[in-house]
Amino acid sequence: MPTNNEIAKILSETADILEIQGAIVFRVRAYRNAARVIENMTDKLSDIVARNPDELNSIRTIGKTLHDKIIEFCETGKVEEFDKLKESLPPGLLEMLKIQSFGPKRVKLVYNKLGIDSVNKLEEAASEGKIRVLPGMGEKSETKILKSIRDFRTLQTDRKPWAEAEEILQNYLGYITKIDGIHHIQPAGSFRRCRESVGDLDILVTCNENAGGIIQHFAEYPEVLEILAQGETKSSVVLKSKIQVDLRVVKPESFGAAMQYFTGSKEHNVALRALAKDKNMKLSEYGVFQNDESIAGKSEEEVYNAIGLDWIPPEIRENRGEIEKAKNHTLPNLISLDKIKGDLHCHTTHTDGSASLPEMAAAAKKLGYEYIAITDHSKAVTIAHGLSAERLLDEIMEIDKFRGQNPGIYIFKGIEVDIMADGSLDLDDEILSKLDFAIAAIHSRFGMNSDEMTERIVRAIQNPYVRCVAHPTGRLIGERIPYEMDISKIISAAKENDVALEINSSPHRLDMNESFTFQAREAGVPICINTDSHSPDGFLNMRYGINIARRAWCTEDNIVNSWSLGKLKSWFKPPKEVVQCELF
């Protein structure tokens, strides 16, 4: 059965094709809206279809036509009309849409006038000066196209975002475990290490004796596109979703050693084996051996302990100093989802959220949170119906009233205030002073050079009411590269001014990324893990941000929203002391 992402993808590609063909914008938008809603749903659409297709009718943005198409896709694995649409266009045209500043009109223009039907041909034509003769195009357009194509290529990757890999994996595990005889089944590899993206999936299984049957069953999964290898204890397949999955069947007494071995990373394992050798031991996927005798292997703890180490959490097995710490019993106590006490970035129907303030508060309370901050958009983000000072005052009043009536969860008064091109904010200090805190963010003018962008963000950090910078680099995974900026200067300005940097947990952003977070934590910058939720379901994305934070060695001390309500209240108390930073 297709995943939500796969259904969303087919709808969104239909929208792309219709757009190039010149369909009316609202029809195109209907497909896009549905794709977005489906992508963000927590319930699996294919489950709903299997249970009761009529339930689809209650989902916003899915009407009669899309209802039928989704059922067709779930039942037959394809949508006839989509296949026809796809055949009507050269395949390269859709790829060209991914080039920044290249939309459907321009794709159509270069295709009709110059026969350009691929990114490669577009690049060739642009570098030969053939684009500038077209109406509405000029020399600058060509330069821009060439730069956009370079950016596009750096974003191209075979790896899947972790969240997408997780969905594929969960479905596969659900299928595999239907066969009898499996003792343990666990994912390993970079997925278990929670890397931001995953190249292939590794699954480990222990069983009684039916190894052959399990391997056979594994390869018969209906989503398998190609079987690469199939032996007695190992099979590799490629799924229709274009990801390779390896299954290994191991003996129970070796399960821990195999988990350790196949979880990696390679660098971590090389260092571990060297350490074992120093102690006259041998470490392999079958266990720890001394004089050819197995002394450990059943569990990972046993394996690590046998070579004199504490067990190391998978997320930090990258040979970045964790082995030394495990030796000295000084490994960090990594942050985890259960330590999170609230979410400090979310939206309501006051701007572009889909749920009211009480609904968002109720959803947060249900998760066991002690507090949340409501941070709707400010006026510059017109598309989100951003708040003017007057409308923000209304929201503040609503929060005051809500606080009085709902002792179970504390609502911080916040705003996601926009950083203008010059680093000023689009709301003045007078209104900001009425809030608990402001979280500053960029939503426009992404193309500034590094010096300008760095100065812009540092100026915002130096505003007395700003306590956090949201999605600091602006990257959208697979879609937009991060802004040019000097990360070390941002980090030191944040540190000097005691301003937090955000890990935005949206699976499309994951911004800051792991390396930025690592540097920020080492510098002692407070870190928020927020979801930027626009609906109650959005809160569930927190775990993706947790993955990043754990990989960056963050502990409770580092993570602002694991602090107690009291500690947070006293930290917020605006205005803060501003430290001017020397930039250049």
Span interacting with DNA, options 118-126, 242-250, 340-348, 380-388, rule CB under 7 A: 380-388
26 touching DNA, by CB under 7 A:
yes
* Token couple for 435: 């809030």
Out of 168, 205, 312, 384, the only residue in the binding site for DNA (CB under 7 A) is 384
Q: How far is the CB of 394 from DNA (least distance, A)?
A: 19
Out of 54, 291, 329, 383, the only residue in the binding site for DNA (CB under 7 A) is 383
Measured distance between the N- and C-terminal CA atoms of the chain, rounded to whole angstroms: 56
Q: How far is the CB of 75 from DNA (least distance, A)?
A: 17
Binding mask 477-516 for DNA (x = CB under 7 A): --xx------------------------------------
CA distance 523 to 518: 9
CA distance 309 to 252: 22
# binding residues, DNA (CB under 7 A): 48
User: Read out DSSP for 241-287?
Assistant: TS-EEEEEEE-GGGHHHHHHHHH--HHHHHHHHHHHHHTT-EEETTE
60 touching DNA, by CB under 7 A:
yes
User: Read out DSSP for 496-564?
Assistant: HTT-EEEEE--TTT-BS-HHHHHHHHHHT--EEEE--BSSGGGGGGHHHHHHHHHHTT-BTTTBGGGS-
CA distance 191 to 199: 9
Instruction: Name, in order, each residue with C-beta under 8 angstroms of 289's C-beta and a sequence gap of 6 or more.
Output: 281, 282, 283, 295
Span interacting with DNA, options 24-32, 43-51, 174-182, 208-216, rule CB under 7 A: 24-32
12 touching DNA, by CB under 7 A:
no
Which positions from 314 through 343 interact with DNA, judged by CB under 7 A? none
Span interacting with DNA, options 39-47, 65-73, 365-373, 401-409, rule CB under 7 A: 65-73
403 touching DNA, by CB under 7 A:
no
Q: Does residue 355 contact residue 349 with C-beta atoms inside 8 Å?
A: yes
Among candidates 564, 503, 546, 555, which has minimal Cα distance to 342? 564
388 touching DNA, by CB under 7 A:
no
135 touching DNA, by CB under 7 A:
yes
For helices 104-114 and 4-20, the axis angle rounded to 10 degrees is 50
Q: State which residue, 137 or 360, has the beta carbon closest to DNA.
A: 137
Out of 12, 39, 94, 100, the only residue in the binding site for DNA (CB under 7 A) is 100
* Residue the block writes with tokens 């979801």: 531
Coil, helix or strand at residue 164: helix
Out of 101, 177, 208, 328, the only residue in the binding site for DNA (CB under 7 A) is 101
Q: Does residue 304 contact residue 310 with C-beta atoms inside 8 Å?
A: yes
Q: How far is the CB of 471 from DNA (least distance, A)?
A: 11
CA atoms within 13 A on the CB side of 41: 24
Q: State which residue, 91 or 138, has the beta carbon closest to DNA.
A: 138
Q: State which residue, 97 or 565, has the beta carbon closest to DNA.
A: 97
Q: How far is the CB of 76 from DNA (least distance, A)?
A: 18
Hey, which residues does 527 pair with through a beta bridge? Answer: 501, 559
CA distance 319 to 317: 6
Sheet holding 234-239, edge to edge: 182-187, 200-207, 244-250, 234-239, 224-230
Binding mask 67-86 for DNA (x = CB under 7 A): x-------------------
Q: Does residue 563 contact residue 344 with C-beta atoms inside 8 Å?
A: no
Identify the DSSP state of 19. H
Q: State which residue, 106 or 317, has the beta carbon closest to DNA.
A: 106
Out of 167, 301, 352, 557, the only residue in the binding site for DNA (CB under 7 A) is 352
Span interacting with DNA, options 54-62, 228-236, 365-373, 528-536, rule CB under 7 A: 54-62
Q: How far is the CB of 444 from DNA (least distance, A)?
A: 6
Binding mask 143-172 for DNA (x = CB under 7 A): -x----------------------------
Span interacting with DNA, options 252-260, 268-276, 376-384, 430-438, rule CB under 7 A: 376-384
CA distance 368 to 362: 10
475 touching DNA, by CB under 7 A:
no
Out of 38, 66, 372, 392, the only residue in the binding site for DNA (CB under 7 A) is 66
Binding mask 206-235 for DNA (x = CB under 7 A): ------------------------------
User: Read out DSSP for 136-155?
Assistant: T--HHHHHHHHHHHHHHHHH
106 touching DNA, by CB under 7 A:
yes
* Residue 512 preceded by cis peptide, ω within 30: yes
Binding site for DNA (CB under 7 A): 24, 26-27, 29-31, 34, 60-67, 99-107, 132, 135-142, 144, 352, 382-385, 421, 443-447, 476, 479-480
